[in-house]
Amino acid sequence: MNGKPLVSIVSAGLSKFGKREGLYARELFAEAVKEAFDRCPRLEPKRDVKAMFVGHMGESYEHQGHMGAAAADWTGLLNIPATRTEAACASSGAALRSGIYAVLSGLADVVLVGGVEKMTHRSTAEVTEYLAMASDYPFEQWHGITFPGLYALMATAHMHKYGTTETQMAQVAVKNHHHGTLNPKAHLQKEITLEKALTSRPVASPLKMFDCSLITDGASCVILTKPELAGKFTDQPVHIVGTGQASDTIGLYERETLTSLQAAKLAARTAYDMAAVKPENVDVAEVHDCFTIAELIAYEDLGLCKAGEGGKLAESGETRLGERLPVNTSGGLKAKGHPVGATGTAQAYEIYLQLTGQAEQRQVKNAQTGLTHNVGGSGATATVHIYRSNQQ
């Protein structure tokens, strides 16, 4: 595609992330969609929006399936095709891919893409069980392993192979908590010290409480259109110039390596090639830091550093706001929160703000190229998207 825009984002919305008591997922989604509509006054939703894709991981949280129709109902977009996508924690990353397909196919000129999850009304044990459904049932779930355990295996393997340390992982948490303090919609908006991260209670050794992302409620969305139509709706579109998605074995035990996610590497390669972009061209990135080790592995899989050097990159401070390559300026899953179905398009929302100069206290200076990296399960699904500002 030689870096030509595939589709353009003309608006985006995000609900407040956190413990949203007394609200259903559909209400959170309506909150995010209202922001997107309010940001784009030239758009007439009932006239212009021709399709909707909604990332939503599980029916178990609210005993509610059929989320595409429910979301269409509660956002006033009845009569259009509204489809739920499910790819575990990459559900709305997959929804974004579906929206791109819809626009490129010519079947829909304007598409609303988003995601939502309502999780906090359930106990930690229930949420852990529901999330575990994204792993292999007969060979992982049935034996009692959960995602903290699976990522702990990755962390242990990475430490053994490359000398990665618990301190380097903790530095990811400290950075992302700092970024979260600058995001008024983040679940956690408080600084933590390295000592606090390192001395927090164990969850699955070597991972501790501050190595783990949050159980969160939230919703997110973006509005896509053809690049040639973007000027009709906004003077500040953000173009998606690369998209990649790949799959791997659902079971971690089947992988050739525990220190890299092959699906993420393949998705990144596809997106980079399509966008005619190299890793060193990226100005700001949102990566899937469900656990701190996941961010270190993401650095490596995305080519932001060499294999085995993710810990050193975190230790260098270069991924902090104001440094060479800010990563997870939103606070990431670690501090912004991880309402699993909403995460992929929540990442796209942050990049949209960054590339249109609307990120306020966390704005990356002169950001023109952005990247999002969204992972499902222990890496069985991965999506990577490359974004470019209209000024580039």
Q: Which helix (H) or strand (E) holds 26?
A: helix 25-39
The answer to whether residue 166 is domain-embedded is no
Mean pLDDT in consecutive groups of 10 residues from the start of the chain, 392 residues: 90 98 98 98 97 97 97 96 98 98 97 98 96 95 94 98 98 98 97 98 98 97 98 98 98 97 98 97 98 98 98 98 98 98 98 98 98 98 97 72
Q: Is residue 291 part of a domain?
A: yes
Residue 56 lies in a domain: yes
Q: At what angle do helices 262-275 and 292-301 cross, to 10 degrees?
A: 50
Pairing of strands 51-55, 82-85: parallel
Q: Is residue 129 a part of any domain in this protein? A: no
pTM of the entire structure? 0.98
Count: domains in the chain: 1
Domain extent, residue 115, equals 7-122+214-389
33-69 in b/e form (b: 16+ CB < 10 A) is bebbbebbeebebeebbbbbbbbbbbebbbeeeebbe
Distance CA 146, CA 129 (A): 8
Q: Does residue 81 fall inside a structural domain?
A: yes
Q: Does 136 fall in a domain? A: no
The region that residue 267 occupies, defined by phi over 0 for left and psi between -120 and 50 for alpha, beta otherwise, is alpha
Domain of residue 258, CATH code? 3.40.47.10
Minimal CA–CA distance to 25: which of 77, 54, 62, 68?
Answer: 62
* Residues acting as catalytic residues: 89, 338
Domain membership of residue 327 (yes or no) is: yes
pLDDT of residue 2: 75
Helices (H), 235-291: 262-275
Q: Is residue 97 part of a domain?
A: yes
Q: What pairs with residue 246 in β-bridges? A: 382
Count the Cβ atoms, other than its own, within 10 Å of residue 97.
23
